[in-house]
Amino acid sequence: MSKHAGLRGLGLRGLPDRRAAGRLAAVATVTARSGGNQSAWQVWSAALQRGTERLLTGRRRRRLLRRERHRRRSPIVEWLDTIGSTVLIVLVINQFLFQAYKIPSQSMRPTLEISDRIFVNKLLYGPELVPGQVKLPGLRSPQRGEVIIFENPSYVPIGPLMAVLKRIVYMVTLSMVDIDRDEQGRTKHDILIKRAVGVGGDRIRLRRGEVQVLLPGADEWLDEPALQAAFGLDYRPRRSPDLIDYDILQAGVAAETRMADGQPLTEAERVDLDRWKRQQATRRTDRLFWEHGRLRTIVEADPTDRNAARQWQLLERGWPVPAGSVFPLGDNRDESNDARFFGPVTLRRVLGKAMFHYWPPARWAGIR
């Protein structure tokens, strides 16, 4: 009789161990009860014994072989396998669920301080399938007043492969290592964190540095406190205390622009320019207000300058926020590079919502 004759006769080849063993036991019981002749019973009994031994010891033998192969593995291979598994788990969590992020600047003070470490919910707005390339649908869109992270529109990419590598290293090290540096060795920020003050359909303008919003279908502009009250928002925009007086700045920039254009200055204009120059030595200039005044002076002197007229009208009338976009601003308004300089940001570039601080422990709290 061949090696597996008994099992083939019973129809046990290919069955799972437990089912085969059960069938063997059942066959033995039936045979014993049937009172078959002694020689037949001996054949069946021998087949039962051999088959049961193979089935019950096969799995154990395979387990022992696996353990032996595992024991013989090099400690280095074992270490690399553990590290690789950990890295893969961290990447999946950071890419699709939650990402650790380190605050790089003071643009969101007092809400977020420099070097705060936070977790960002990436599932909410839709995670990236490929870092910097393909984005999956999210549960919902960013809402007004939420703190978001997004791709920096003014960032100069280092190439698709390096961009992916940079993201992977940043995520694996939980935001502790950023390999993208400029010529001076400073970190280049390809991801920014700001507050979504404007949403699709809004128009945003500035008046002496203060934000005003025209809601869709509305006739009156809302200043930021009124906007917060209307939508139940609770955050504190911060202005620099050492800004140059706006009246002095307005008069001084007009005089400087006319002088740069070769126009003669009156005695009063020279006084305005001198007063502004003296304040510049100790106080800061609102860059956008300065640019607004410079463009207005150019357009008043030469209405045919279409480029200056177009830029002045944008600052005068405000930025329209297209559907499917947000207008992110830093809470620390005079220390922030935000949509006032690069315009609205499409939702495709929005990567996640800031959820809570996890470091330092004293600042453990949700982010509003």
pLDDT band of 16, cuts 50, 70, 90: very low
pLDDT digits (tens, 9 = 90+) for 261-305: 999 999 999 999 999 999 988 999 999 999 999 999 999 999 999
Output Rg (C-alpha) for the chain, integer angstroms: 36
Q: Tell me the C-alpha distance between 71 and 81, whole Å.
A: 14
pLDDT of residue 22: 52
Inform me whether the pLDDT recorded for 246 exceeds 60.
yes
pLDDT of residue 188: 75
Which one-letter DSSP state was computed for residue 332?
B
DSSP codes, 52-96:
HHHHHHHHHHHHHHHHHHHHHS-HHHHHHHHHHHHHHHHHHHHHH
pLDDT of residue 117: 93
pLDDT digits (tens, 9 = 90+) for 166-210: 777 777 776 677 767 766 767 777 889 999 999 999 999 999 999
Inform me whether the pLDDT recorded for 2 exceeds 60.
no
pTM: 0.74
pLDDT of residue 71: 65
Q: Tell me the C-alpha distance between 220 and 149, whole Å.
A: 30
pLDDT digits (tens, 9 = 90+) for 100-144: 888 989 999 999 999 999 999 999 999 887 766 678 889 999 999
pLDDT of residue 55: 66
% of the chain surpassing 70 pLDDT? 81
pLDDT digits (tens, 9 = 90+) for 355-365: 999 989 888 89
Inform me whether the pLDDT recorded for 73 exceeds 70.
no
Higher pLDDT residue, 88 or 299?
Answer: 299
On whether the CB atoms of residues 100 and 117 are closer than 8 A, the answer is: yes
pLDDT of residue 85: 78
Rounded to the nearest 10°, the torsion over CA 104, 135, 120, 232 is 100
pLDDT of residue 56: 62
pLDDT of residue 132: 63
Mean pLDDT, residues 18-33 taken together: 49
Higher pLDDT residue, 249 or 100?
Answer: 249
Q: Assign 287 to helix, strand or coil.
A: helix
Mean pLDDT, residues 239-253 taken together: 92
pLDDT of residue 162: 72
pLDDT of residue 6: 46
Which one-letter DSSP state was computed for residue 243?
B
Lowest-confidence pick of 17-21, 63-67, 70-74, 316-320:
17-21
Inform me whether the pLDDT recorded for 21 exceeds 90.
no
Higher pLDDT residue, 1 or 346?
Answer: 346
Q: Phi and psi of 156, rounded to 5°?
A: -90, 110
pLDDT band of 72, cuts 50, 70, 90: low
Mean pLDDT, residues 204-232 taken together: 96
pLDDT of residue 195: 98
